[in-house]
A and B are shown apart, each in its own frame.
Chain A
Amino acid sequence: MRFRREAPIGPDPEMSAPARRAADARWAPRLKWGLLGLALLAAIWLPFVVSSFWVNLATQALFFGLFALAINLISGYGGMITLGHAGMLGVAGYGLGILTVDEGWSLGAAVGAALVAAAVASAFFGILAVRTRGTYFVMITLAEGMVVWGIAQRWQELTGGENGITGIPKPGFATEYWEFYYLVLAVVVVCVVLLARLVRSPFGLSLKGIREGEDRLASLGYNVTLHKLLAFTISGTLAGVAGVLLAMHNNFIGPSDVFFLASADGLLMAILGGIGTLSGALVGSAIVVFIQNEVSTFVDRWQTILGIVFVVVILFAPGGIVGTWTRMVWVPLLRRLGAHEEAAQAETAATGAAPTVGAARSAPAASTAGERRTEGAVQVGSRQEEG
């Protein structure tokens, strides 16, 4: 009964209240926040210690991390795997490019309009996609993303076709590489804080409920379709923010930024880092960006490496790096130090979404007709549901 684990875990009734409090030291969440604070300090310090090359990589890791976070919101928390999110990123990126370069808008107004465009586009795509679930949802989002690619690649007049749009400006206050880095860092931190609040809100909890059992939530009277549509739109808009930052960073947007591979890369980042965790998306993007930029100078076939990483993670570590870290290191550590409640929460949070993308550990591996499992049917998309 995975659904119940998600509910806030209260004190164990069998234990007396004082004993419980003593056992569950309050340092555990503080330790986590402390680590996050340290990471943020390190991020702020970064431009002082490394060269512009690495700062540029970090900038990319941040906005791609935001992209992966956007994917993570619907795929990790909502359980709807999308392979078309580069389309939303592209709507905003191209919107910014067309408005600033071709139409001569001021940057601020163009950014606003580009984000509105991304929100509208994702609402529209969402209306079509959320009518379906499971594998159908994957196929439809893939096709939707490729619609945007089709326009980017073929509608020469509007999008510049294969040449894309060059000369997209950075804001006047962030033209230096380190200034732009801080801008991206600030935007990402704000988005992460908002997302962290969102996923812990009643809306976020019902989203997880949809992941665990859409029909159950529907029978409880939730408007599942509306929840999914909202999540899709928020996620698409966030991808749009990433798209705006990407277009500014590269001073360019082109069809390859919108292609299927870009969507799949984003999903890979989210899964590699740890699907259903906020920190995972950033970890995953850092690794993928590193492979794409740094490893590619030594190995031509970095795309193959990404593919192999993809396969290995799906097969052996569906919880990703953060999920595995939590399971192997963090939870045992908390348990050893006596914070059992915190440990249970951390375990649920970090591994709850893993079955969405990988093997459901609780399910018997030998089941050939796995999809007809009635219990733990986390993988939406059984025949009855899809028709």
Chain B
Amino acid sequence: VTLHEFWLQLLNGITLGALLFLVSSGFTLIFGLMRIVNLAQGSLYLVGGYVGLSTIRATDSFLLAVLAGAAAAAALGFVMERGLLRLVRGQPMSEILLTVGISFIVADLALATWGGDPETLPVPQAIDTSTSIFGLTYPVFRIVVVAVAVVVAIALWLLLERTRTGAMVRAGVDDQETAAALGINIKAVFTAVFVLGALLAGLAGVVGGAYLSIFPGADVEILVYSLVVVVVGGLGSLRGAIVGSLLVGLTYVYGQTLVPDLAYFVLFAPMALILLVRPQGLFGRAG
């Protein structure tokens, strides 16, 4: 590996990490409050990507695609939370299995609607160029992906730590019963957080559709990446999602350069290591 390639892959790793953060932040947010492991997070990503694809074909606008993709995923998240998950509230296994069932359905309907070929969303022309960064030529779009992730991370942090809504969410995380007794509408907070998590997955789907392409099975692949991210970072921790995403993104990208056949396998090395040393993840609360 040349030095040039090393730096290039560093940027690629950060970009992939940024994309993974978009998916796994929603995942970890939902878990942090509701204790639901949403295995349909990948399906929401898939829906976001495909709806974005259709929108961009119809309107030629990437911005509209982002909005439509995120909105579609958020709407699906709303239906899931209100229509199904609410029925089994407080039973983690039922919740997790329900999300598996939903992912079956979404994957199949997406296949029926958008077909089986991999599709790539066209990158908007304005940022479909390269620029020089630290002496390397790098696509502007990828820099934008990182910027979006940074903005989302800051916005989420501000939302959770600096607003009244965020205070309600944190109260719910700490003690649902007391929060409810204090007059917080915890059910509404649940729905809001779930929809927000779904929205982030949908946003990631559109971005990921342009960066990686979207195809049947992309849902499970991205889901597995996010699982590794949250296992490494600690489930329910925003900081864990940031660090985990970067770690997984970099591991995957360097793995792909050094041992292309085993890149997917190498991805799990940090997870196995963390599990042996610190089962609750880097930033997870100790058991």
Contact = CB atoms under 8 A, between A and B. Distances in A.
A365 B102 CA distance: 22
Contacts of A158: 261
Contacts of A363: 90
Interface string A239-271: 000000000000000000001110010010001
A158 B263 CA distance: 14
A205 interface: no
B254 to A, nearest CB: 16
Nearest to B107: A303
Interface of B: 31, 35, 37, 39, 84, 87-94, 96-98, 100-105, 107-109, 111-112, 176-177, 180, 186-187, 217, 220, 224, 227-228, 230-231, 234-235, 260-265, 267-268, 271-272, 275-276, 279-281, 284-287
Contacts of B275: 128, 131-132, 140
Interface of A: 81, 83, 128, 131-132, 134-136, 138-140, 142-144, 146-147, 149-151, 153-158, 259-261, 264, 267, 271, 300-301, 303-304, 306-311, 314-315, 318, 356-360, 363, 367-373, 379, 381, 383-387
6 contacts: A139-B227, A140-B227, A151-B265, A154-B263, A158-B261, A308-B101
A156 B259 CA distance: 12
Contacts of A83: 39, 100
B104 A264 contact: yes
Contacts of B97: 81, 267, 271, 310, 314, 357
A270 B106 CA distance: 22
Contacts of A149: 264
Contacts of B285: 383, 387
B93 A359 contact: no
Q: Give the top 4 A-B pairs by smallest Cβ distance, nearest first.
A: A370-B90, A150-B264, A307-B104, A310-B101
Given A131-B275, A386-B280, A368 B89 contact: yes
Nearest to B178: A369
A301 B93 contact: no
A304 B105 contact: yes
Contact of A379 (B91, B104, B268): B91
A384 B94 CA distance: 19
Nearest to B186: A368
Nearest to A75: B93
A352 B72 CA distance: 40
Contacts of A369: 90, 176-177
